[in-house]
Amino acid sequence: MSLVVDGVVKRFGAVTALDGLSFEAPTGQVFGFLGANGAGKTTTMRIALGVIQPDAGAITWDGRSTLDLPRAVFGYLPEERGLYPRMRVLDQLVFFAGLHGVPADQARRRAREWLERLRIPELADRPAEELSKGNQQKIQFLAAVLHDPEVLLMDEPFTGLDPVNASLLREAFLELRERGRTLVFSTHQMETVEAMCESVAIIDRGRLVVAGELREVKRAARGRALRIGFETAGETAWLDGLDGVRIVRPGVDEVELALDPSLEPDDVLAAALARGLSVRRFEVLEPSLEQLFIERVGRPAGDEASLAPTRAEASADAERR
């Protein structure tokens, strides 16, 4: 039993948003769905929910097309946050749960429990327009989970949350996973994915780049990572000009580097010593997800991507393969 995306194609006019996308999110796991802006994550989620139709391919849950399943199987936290501005929080939660078939009294009880758990019980009777953005986001999360869906699809759930609220949301994720729910979320925060996800899929311009268990995906990274620190501050900029080296995490006296497969960590150390620098720290790291993402996609996750490759790019891609 798993959420299977199978050869999904979606075009919007001349733009191909999804180009034969396939991957699998196993049941009962927290699944990271990664891609630059415009890569096709939201479109994939909307197709899974049945909000839009694919031109080809299908998304199935437990072997059945998601279109054959009741909507209540899924919970959805959209990227664009929105609630009825003048409606009371509790009324909104009861309304949305009601659309998924939860009786009003049960929905009211669950809503109060969740509000307690997220430490905002006092917001129950307030209109949404009076809430801070972070709190509105938490209410939207509740609207997505109150009917206890089997699969929770969340588009950038941590965006805009302060560290305390992000931590509360992470706790809620883990609790839902403990209860056997499947959580799929997209984010640009690679540390969060590394900390929470068992499996990931990285997509770029509507196509799958890599998917699988996080451990396996990272193991498949070709390049290596390195952390190097110097005695004197401000001595790191030269590393950026070194062939096969890219600064992943800049710093004043210590940086994290991604190395091309052709380059050995010792080569960097040798270059530093040759410049007469005093090396204080030198550590070979397991490649981070962010590093892997940049290696495979060619740019950080927060960057914009065009929806589809041009014809020239597509043929170049094909040749590379």
Partner 1 sequence: MSRREPLLPNAARVAAREYRERVRSRLFVVSTVILALIAGTIALGPLVIRLAERTTVQTITVVADEPAVKSLALGSLDSILNLSPSGTEPPGRVRPYEIQAGSTADEEVAAVEAGTIAGTLLVERTESGGLSFVFHTAGQRGSTTSQLVGFAALGTAILDWQSSGELDPGAGAFRVPGFDIVARSGATEGGRPVDPTVAASRSFLAIAFVVLIFITLVIYGMWVAAGVATEKSSRVMELLVSAASPEQLLVGKVVGLGAAGLTQYAAILAPAGVILVIQELLAVVIMGPAAGETVSLAGLTPGLLLAFLGYFVLGFAFYAVIYAAAGSLVSRQEDLQVVALPLSLLSMAGYLIAIVSISGGFDILARIASFVPFWSPFVMLARVMVSRVEPWELAISFGLLAASVVVAAVVAVRVYRAGILLYGQRPGLRLFIAAARRGD
As measured in angstroms, the least distance from the Cβ of 316 to partner 1 is 31
Residue with smaller CB distance to partner 1, 53 or 310: 53
Chain centroid to CA 254: 28
Helices (H), ranges, the chain:
41-49, 89-99, 104-117, 133-145, 163-178, 190-196, 214-219, 265-274, 289-297, 311-320
C-alpha span between 47 and 43 (Å, rounded): 6
Q: Is 234 exposed, middle or buried (0-12, 13-18, 19+ CB in 10 A)?
A: exposed
Listed in sequence order, the residues at least 6 apart from 186 whose beta carbon sits closer than 8 Å to its beta carbon are 32, 33, 34, 35, 41, 42, 45, 79, 154, 155, 156
As measured in angstroms, the least distance from the Cβ of 58 to partner 1 is 10
Residue with smaller CB distance to partner 1, 99 or 233: 99
Listed in sequence order, the residues at least 6 apart from 105 whose beta carbon sits closer than 8 Å to its beta carbon are none
As measured in angstroms, the least distance from the Cβ of 170 to partner 1 is 22
Residue with smaller CB distance to partner 1, 31 or 96: 96
As measured in angstroms, the least distance from the Cβ of 4 to partner 1 is 17
Residue with smaller CB distance to partner 1, 142 or 196: 142
Residue with smaller CB distance to partner 1, 81 or 227: 81
Residue with smaller CB distance to partner 1, 127 or 244: 127
As measured in angstroms, the least distance from the Cβ of 301 to partner 1 is 22
Chain contacts with partner 1 (rule: CB under 8 A): 46, 49-53, 67-68, 71, 74-76, 78-87, 95-96, 98-100, 140, 143-144
Residue with smaller CB distance to partner 1, 151 or 196: 151
DSSP letters, 69-128, are S-GGGEEEE-SS----TTSBHHHHHHHHHHHTT--HHHHHHHHHHHHHHTT-GGGTTSBG
Q: How far apart are the first and last CA of the chain?
A: 31
Helix (H, G, I), strand (E, B) or coil at 254: strand
Strand partners, 245: 259
Farthest-apart Cα atoms in the chain, separation: 73
As measured in angstroms, the least distance from the Cβ of 11 to partner 1 is 11
As measured in angstroms, the least distance from the Cβ of 250 to partner 1 is 35
C-alpha span between 39 and 36 (Å, rounded): 5
Residue with smaller CB distance to partner 1, 83 or 239: 83
As measured in angstroms, the least distance from the Cβ of 184 to partner 1 is 13
